[in-house]
Structure 1
Amino acid sequence: MRALASLIVLFSWIVGPVSAQPAPAEIETISPEKITPIVPLKEPEATQETRAEQTLLEHLCTQKVDVHFKKTSVKDALHELERQGGIPILIDQIALAEGGFSADRQVTANLPNVSLYTALKWTLHDAELTFVPEADSVWVTTSVAAEKMLKPRYYAVPTLISNENDAEQLIELFTTVIKPESWEDLGGPGSVAPYRSGLMVTQNAHVHMLLERLFAGLESLQKLPSDNYPTACYPISLTSSRQQELLQKLYTTNAKLPVDSSSLMSLIEKLREQVPCPIYLDRRALEDHYFYPDEIISTLPPESFSLARALDVITKSADFTWYVSDELIVITTADEAEMALDVALYPVRDLAWMGLDIQDVRLEEVAIPRPARQFAFGGGWVGYDSLEVDPIFGLPDYKGLIDLLTTTIEPDTWEDLGGAGSIAPFQRRADCLAIAQTQSAHRKLRQGLESLREKQQPANVDQLLEQYRANLKKMVVHTYVAAAGPHGGYRFRKDELQRIIEKIPQRVRPESWDGSTTFVDLMNEKIIVRNRGDVQREIQTYLTDLGIIKCDISRAGSCGCFLPFEDPQTETSPPATTTGQPTPAVR
């Protein structure tokens, strides 16, 4: 007992009595005035290199040079461009050797008064090479090596991104239309990740140039007024303004050509005297396609034809084609032209919304409120961005527009049918389609959209709402596709999805489930639900809030998280429209 008592005393001495412990000090409350932001000390070298690259790129685009190379070695041609351009041009000898190329390869190019950027691009094109702007020089290398010369860059785009869905839509947009094969989803080296109200992108210099133009274009479209809504497309390229100017002149200036049959080269020389820019013969592609300069062209355009139509007739007679790139006309094969894609943004707010005023208070009925899941330090949503429109309402209809254009405008050239053309929507106040297509297809797209605007009638809001209310009461089947994970695959396992669908009848309108006419089932990563439209609306909200599904504005409505189809036992009529004037601008 004495030993036990001693042990207790020793333990009490080590631990100490509870009452002897000092009371915790009160936490001092810091007033907002005392909180100051953290101001980082930036490393000047990291930002100076980026600024230097941008300065050099501006020099490449503005410095004029004269190119007159005839069977000149790449090395000698680059020395001449270095002399005229005033910047160092270095050759990546290791990459050239690994790719089986040589700086002694001969090139031919006649490009007077063009930018150094254009001269480098098309002189090296003849040798199957390319270039990369660095901070203090231009690096000439192979296409394979250039694609691997990646640099990370953060793009702060708060007007384009306010939440996770905006970021996913923006990423889907540019990975679809800007060099899709260069992104990791298709096996390329480029990568992208959202962070707060911006994106960190690792890509090569050429893709970074296009991304800067794309983001600037989207921000410009966000500022378009709804009254007198401008519908002109916004091209995404370094020389878009010059390219549009040249096309305008080619389509409005008459050609003056011989009336008698002439050789192909003599006709091209005649055109060179009349067109407002150089003509580049893509000899590498043309010679593989049996290019005969002395071939006699007997089908000649009449004097009333424009320069553009004259080029159409002459190149078609020789089984070639042409397009405007940068500051010149390129004559090449049809296969090569199909791979020369231009990216442009098309404002379609008036078409996607059928001329409706999206601020009309009557449309509040079709809006699904969402908690503003902003990135840190982000502000609240403004106007219709604070709501998602019920997909059952069917507007804005990007999917309908995309299906219309890809079905009727050169359908074989779109990626769904094995072509190179691609299309993707972006809504967040820009309300546009981003399209990568050939110059010929872009011209037809503009014509098709303008024709649609002339004929489309404005929607009748009251009739649309009446149909919407009727659809809410109908029994319909919807398929909800589970969201993909950040690195491919799906975000949720099948057993997790199974537990979620078991909760749906308990959490969403329990009285509406009878086990026979209504059901919820799981098929792989798709949740199949049969119930009334108004119940489907709540299920969509429930699954979206849980992060099970993601928005996809190209599928249905502004948040087409599912692809609806009507029950075979029900019939629906198309949205009613009024007769009258063409679609008004959205206010």
Structure 2
Amino acid sequence: MKRWTPLLLAVLLSATVHGQDVAQVNALPSSATERSIDDQMGTRDLIERLWNTTITIEAVDTPLDEFLPMLAEKSGCPFHIDNRSLERVGKNCDMPITIHLENVTLGSVLQVFTRGIDLEYVIQPERILICSSDAVLGQDHLVTRYYPVGKWLGDEKDNRRLAMILAAVQLLDPEQWEILGGPGSCEIAQGGLVVTQPVRFHDRIERLLKAIVAAKDLPSEAYPTQSISIHPLAKEAKAIEQQLRTERFTKLDTKLSLEELASVLSKQLGIQVCIDNRALEDMGLSSDLIVPTQWKNVTIETVLNDLSQQYLVWQIRGDYLCITTPDELERSLEIRVYPVRDLTYGDSKVNVGELPKFIRFDGFFCGSRLPGSPNYPGQLVLKTPADRLLAMFTNEIVPDSWEELGGPGSSVSNPLADCLVVSQERRVHEQIETLLADLRRSAVTSLADEYQEAASEVIDVAYAAPLGLGGQTLLDKDDLEELATLIETKFLSGEEIDPTSYATSVGDRLIVRQRRDVQRAIYRYLADLGYHFRDGQQNGGH
């Protein structure tokens, strides 16, 4: 008699991971009464100062080691130079800094000035380190933390759902993760995620998780549908976006250099407009580029969009606007969290709370994009409402901007929080917002109802007994009958199950009749027992 026990995956979180101490983030920093691990390490205050301290600073060919004390005095933050890392890339503390920024946050100043001289900055306990781009990725600056996301989102036991959270986290700068050759790592452990990345990166992870938790906690009554940006200056960016769409361009000169245009826009908008000179140099361009100004009675957004004729693009980066190149834009995508509970459940006749766990359409067994799921055969393909939305995005909204066609954009669904997480350019996010608004106004049958119609169709599935390496059948008739009885007991009993359903053995095959969504649960269960479909062939063991 064989025992049919699914494979159990146990991951133990030890005191160290890859030789590093593991710090636990017990609560998201949105809680005023609880402290994140950054408080314990002395870095939280510095991170908050990055986005809460507004300064004006000007320097012309000022040596780096003289510029930083100026910045420290204005911001109240101590700085330190990693001279050894600078020497390794042929730089030193005498390198000249030329910058003029007005009324922007310290974080924006650091972004602009380090980008301009090809350096980086690292948040350390009680100071900010200026170093080379390579040094910031070194083991000395990596910190390992444990995020109990299962606890925050209400499911600590299902690793498949946690894998979807992991996939969302890895949308943050994909090249920073070891899967693409970067230094960072992320793995599931004890109902949460263990992540190794620099402190600044952990701050972004916390902001992403905070947005996902916020989407989960939205009230279903009068459900808010506005997307949630994870940028710390999202409100400022939204205000600039609105300003660009409403203000008219007033300069009527026939020609302006790009530098002159940036200056004109800065004065008219009252914000900082910067040129990414380093990105322009990579394309053989400069700020002396002449921009034809044949605009009349147009918005500033139209003026900026027309820069595409010079192979340039623009991007709102929190509290300032940057003119850069398409290649650089692809390296600095914006992540937004889209609440979609109303579209994925909507007015569906299905009472999700009363359905057995294995046939809910929340990604447990039915999500075709679920990381780690088996490759379901064609007759069991069943896209969840969230999958349908993501397919609309990738098929209809600038298709070549998505990773499926070689673009930089990517997306994942998160059933635990009823949301979609999307990493894309501003123009694509705008079209996603428009599409979702159109769907909400259309008052058509909800995607959940369409899903339920496909999920409830009763179908027959035949499973051939798995074969050994020599081609011999690994299960005899008694084994198949025992397995059929187990499936009957585990999956085909209860009031909600179709009355015509059955599981039986016929020759060397297991025959199951049931709803498509339950069939997917059965298929997943058999895969865990040793049944696998690979390249259209069924293989397995016991």
Q: What TM-score comes out, normalization by structure 2 length?
A: 0.75
SS at match of 1:335: helix
1:352 matched to 2:344? The reply is yes
Aligned to 1:312: 305
SS at match of 2:134: helix
Change (3 A) 1:184 1:386: closer
SS at match of 1:273: helix
Aligned to 2:429: 442
The residue correspondences of 1:188-337 to structure 2 (distance < 5 A) are: 188-258=182-252, 260-303=254-297, 305-313=298-306, 315-337=307-329
The residue correspondences of 1:306-455 to structure 2 (distance < 5 A) are: 306-313=299-306, 315-353=307-345, 355-356=347-348, 359=351, 364=354, 367-369=355-357, 394=382, 396-428=384-416, 430-455=417-442
Contact residue 410 and residue 422 of structure 2 kept, 8 A? yes
SS at match of 2:254: coil
Aligned to 2:116: 126
User: Residue 344 of structure 2 aligns to which amino acid in structure 1?
Assistant: A
Change (3 A) 1:92 1:448: same
Deviation at 1:283, TM superposition (A): 0.8
Q: Which has the larger radius of gyration?
A: 1
Change (3 A) 1:76 1:357: farther
Aligned to 2:539: none
User: Residue 216 of structure 1 aligns to which amino acid in structure 2?
Assistant: K
Change (3 A) 1:349 1:494: farther
Contact residue 119 and residue 131 of structure 2 kept, 8 A? yes
Distance 2:324 2:520 in 1: 54
Deviation at 1:125, TM superposition (A): 0.6
Distance 1:390 1:48 in 2: 36
Aligned to 1:475: 460
SS at match of 1:153: strand
Change (3 A) 1:257 1:186: same
Aligned to 1:485: none
**Could you give the per-residue CA deviations for residues 227-264 of structure 1, whole angstroms, max 9, x where no partner exists?**
32221111112222222222122222222121533443
Contact residue 426 and residue 434 of structure 1 kept, 8 A? yes
1:144 matched to 2:134? The reply is yes
Distance 1:504 1:535 in 2: 21
**Could you give the per-residue CA deviations for residues 250-304 of structure 1, whole angstroms, max 9, x where no partner exists?**
222222121533443333322121113101111111133233544443342222x
Deviates more, 1:229-238 or 1:392-401: 392-401
Distance 1:459 1:92 in 2: 57
Deviates more, 1:274-283 or 1:447-456: 447-456
Which of the numbers 161, 166, 169 marks the counterpart of 2:161?
A: 166
Change (3 A) 1:464 1:64: closer
**Could you give the per-residue CA deviations for residues 397-452 of structure 1, whole angstroms, max 9, x where no partner exists?**
22222221112222222222222211111111x11111111122211221222223
Gaps of 5+ in 2: 1-35, 369-379, 489-501, 537-542
The residue correspondences of 1:481-496 to structure 2 (distance < 5 A) are: none
Distance 2:451 2:143 in 1: 50
Distance 2:401 2:64 in 1: 34
SS at match of 2:57: strand
Root-mean-square deviation (Å): 3.8
Deviation at 1:344, TM superposition (A): 0.7
User: Residue 483 of structure 2 aligns to which amino acid in structure 1?
Assistant: R
Deviation at 1:159, TM superposition (A): 2.8
Deviates more, 1:418-427 or 1:79-88: 79-88
Change (3 A) 1:293 1:129: closer
Contact residue 455 and residue 515 of structure 2 kept, 8 A? no
User: Residue 322 of structure 2 aligns to which amino acid in structure 1?
Assistant: V
Contact residue 350 and residue 449 of structure 2 kept, 8 A? no
Distance 1:269 1:462 in 2: 54
Distance 2:260 2:363 in 1: 63
Contact residue 368 and residue 390 of structure 1 kept, 8 A? no
**Could you give the per-residue CA deviations for residues 9-43 of structure 1, whole angstroms, max 9, x where no partner exists?**
xxxxxxxxxxxxxxxxxxxxxxxxxxxxxxxxxxx
**Could you give the per-residue CA deviations for residues 471-493 of structure 1, whole angstroms, max 9, x where no partner exists?**
21x335899xxxxxxxxxxxxx9
Gaps of 5+ in 1: 1-45, 372-382, 480-492, 521-529, 551-560, 566-587
User: Residue 91 of structure 2 aligns to which amino acid in structure 1?
Assistant: F
> Taking every aligned residue pair, what percent have the same amino acid on both sides?
25
Change (3 A) 1:337 1:534: closer
SS at match of 1:457: coil
Aligned to 1:69: 59
Aligned to 1:540: 521
